Amino acid sequence: MTERDAKAAAVVEEALGWVGTPYRHQGCRRGVACDCLGLVRGIWRHVYGHELERPGPYAPDWAEATGEERLLEGLRRHFCERPVAEAGAGDVIVFRWRQHLPAKHAAILVAADRFVHAYQDHGVTLTRMVPQWRQRLAAAFAFPD
């Protein structure tokens, strides 16, 4: 097993451990509460042993209000961007709700057809990559070695 494969397996295992965590805007604690960014931050903390960049306060409608690609810009600072078609288990995937709006939802791909994400009113769930989700994919990022 390569270092990349081991890291991806650790990310997937940790992501699955977050399933059932309640949703809370700006939360980032496994079993307590998190939002989609908090899920990614918490997994990073588990894998690397330290906190990822703190995002500062953000409103639930930040993407619509600012029009900035803050999520993508932040991920590009710390992760390795890869083509969406090459995304694999253990990668962060990012969704854009509408074509003209910034990407604002992140998840962890755990298999070719499933991902873990923190979803308002549902908490952290394991979700199938159905066409409605697949068409919203905007970017993919690998955790760095």
Domains in the chain, ordered, with CATH? 3-142 (3.90.1720.10)
pLDDT at 60: 78
Q: How far apart are the first and last CA of the chain?
A: 14
Alpha-carbon gap, residue 142 to 145, rounded angstroms: 9
pLDDT at 62: 67
Residue 92 has pLDDT above 70, yes or no: yes
pLDDT at 12: 98
pLDDT at 145: 85
Alpha-carbon gap, residue 5 to 126, rounded angstroms: 21
Span 10-59, pLDDT tens digits: 999 999 999 999 999 999 999 999 999 999 999 999 999 999 888 877 77
- The pLDDT-based confidence of 64 (bands split at 50, 70, 90) is low
> Among 34, 47, 35, 49, which Cα is nearest to 143's?
47
What does pTM read for this prediction? Answer: 0.94
Which residues lie below 8 Å from residue 73, measured CB to CB, with a gap of 6+?
none
Q: Which residue has the higher pLDDT, 65 or 15?
A: 15
Span 99-135, pLDDT tens digits: 888 999 999 999 999 999 999 999 999 999 999 999 9
